[in-house]
C-alpha cells in the first residue's frame, strides 16, 4: 500500500429530485489500499459509488482519478481509465457458460469488430487464446474452475459473487468498486471472498467497498469512511469509528 491517492472525491453533490443523496461528500482513496464505505441505510453510499463509476453525473463537485476529473464521463469512458464496479445484485448472463461470462468482460477485444472477425482471424485468434487462459486462471483463483462450462444461472448466490469478482478483474482494473459483495452469501463463502479480496492490493488493484457486514469489512479493509446524510462523517480504523459518538447516533438515529 502507498500513501499516494488514486481517487479524490471533492465536494460531490447529487440529488434525486429534491432528495439530496450525496450532499458535499469529500474524501480520498490511497493507491493499492482497501477502503470500506459504511453508514446507515440512505447515507448515499451506493449513489456515490455510481457517481464514481459513471452511471450518474454529479450536479457539482469533482471526482479525480489519477489527477483527472472523470465526473460525468459515462461508464465506458471511466471503465477504459481503469475503474470497474460490481453491483449489489449480480448481473451475469445466465444462459452463457461461466467461462464466457468472464471472457466477455475483457476490454479492447479485436474480435468484437465484425470485419476483423471475418477477415482477419490471425489478429484476433491469438488474443482469444490469451483471454481464455486468463479467464481460466481467474476462475481457478476464485475456486470456480470445475464450473467453467456450467451456465452462470446454475451457480449459487455466493458462487455468483465470486464470478462477479473474476469478471471484474478480467477488465484489469486499477480501482475496483464493490457494492455489498457478500449480500446473500453463506458464511463459508464470505470468508473465501475476504481472502481473495485481501490479495488484490498486492496485485496492483485498489478497493473501495460498500458493505454492512462489519466483520467482513474489518478483515478486508485498511480503514473505513463513514457516510451519513450524504457526506463523510468521519474516517479511521473500524475500531476508531465504532467508538465515535456521531457514528453511533447516525446508525441509531439519535
**Whether residue 123 has pLDDT greater than 70:** no
55-91: pLDDT as tens digits: 999 999 999 999 999 998 999 999 999 999 987 666 7
d(CA 28, CA 20): 21
CA angle 93, 206, 109 (to 5 degrees): 45
* Whole-number pLDDT of residue 231: 95
* Whole-number pLDDT of residue 3: 62
d(CA 95, CA 93): 6
User: What is the sign of the dihedral through the CA atoms of 49, 53, 55 and 59?
Assistant: positive
43-59: pLDDT as tens digits: 999 999 999 999 999 99
Range 5-91+173-252 has CATH code 1.10.1200.10: no
Domain ranges in the chain? 5-91+173-252, 93-154
Cβ burial, residue 95 (10 Å; 0-12/13-18/19+):
exposed
Give me the mean pLDDT over the 135-143 stretch: 95
Amino acid at each position: 500500500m502507498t500513501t499516494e491517492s488514486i481517487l479524490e472525491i471533492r465536494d460531490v453533490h447529487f440529488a434525486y429530485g429534491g432528495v439530496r443523496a450525496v450532499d458535499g461528500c469529500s474524501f480520498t482513496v490511497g493507491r493499492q489500499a482497501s477502503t470500506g464505505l459504511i453508514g446507515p441505510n440512505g447515507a448515499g453510499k451506493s449513489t456515490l459509488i455510481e457517481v464514481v463509476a459513471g452511471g450518474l453525473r454529479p450536479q457539482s463537485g469533482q471526482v479525480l482519478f489519477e489527477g483527472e476529473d472523470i465526473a460525468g464521463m459515462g461508464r465506458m469512458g471511466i471503465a477504459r481509465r481503469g475503474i470497474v464496479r460490481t453491483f449489489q445484485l449480480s448481473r451475469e448472463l445466465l444462459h452463457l457458460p461461466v467461462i464466457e461470462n468472464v471472457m466477455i468482460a475483457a476490454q479492447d477485444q479485436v474480435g468484437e469488430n465484425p470485419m476483423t472477425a471475418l477477415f482477419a482471424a490471425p489478429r484476433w485468434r491469438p488474443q482469444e487464446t490469451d483471454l481464455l487462459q486468463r479467464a481460466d486462471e481467474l476462475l481457478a483463483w476464485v475456486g470456480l474452475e470445475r464450473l467453467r462450462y456450467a451456465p452462470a444461472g446454475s451457480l449459487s448466490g455466493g458462487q455468483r459473487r465470486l464470478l462477479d469478482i473474476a469478471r471484474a478483474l478480467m477488465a484489469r482494473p486499477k480501482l475496483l468498486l464493490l457494492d455489498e459483495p457478500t449480500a446473500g452469501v453463506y458464511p463459508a463463502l464470505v470468508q473465501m471472498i475476504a481472502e481473495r479480496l485481501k490479495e488484490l492490493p498486492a496485485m496492483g488493484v485498489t478497493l473501495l467497498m460498500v458493505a454492512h457486514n462489519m466483520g467482513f469489512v474489518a478483515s478486508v479493509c485498511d480503514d473505513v469512511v463513514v457516510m451519513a446524510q450524504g457526506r463523510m462523517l468521519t474516517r479511521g480504523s473500524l475500531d476508531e469509528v465504532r467508538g465515535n459518538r456521531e457514528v453511533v447516533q447516525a446508525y441509531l438515529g439519535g
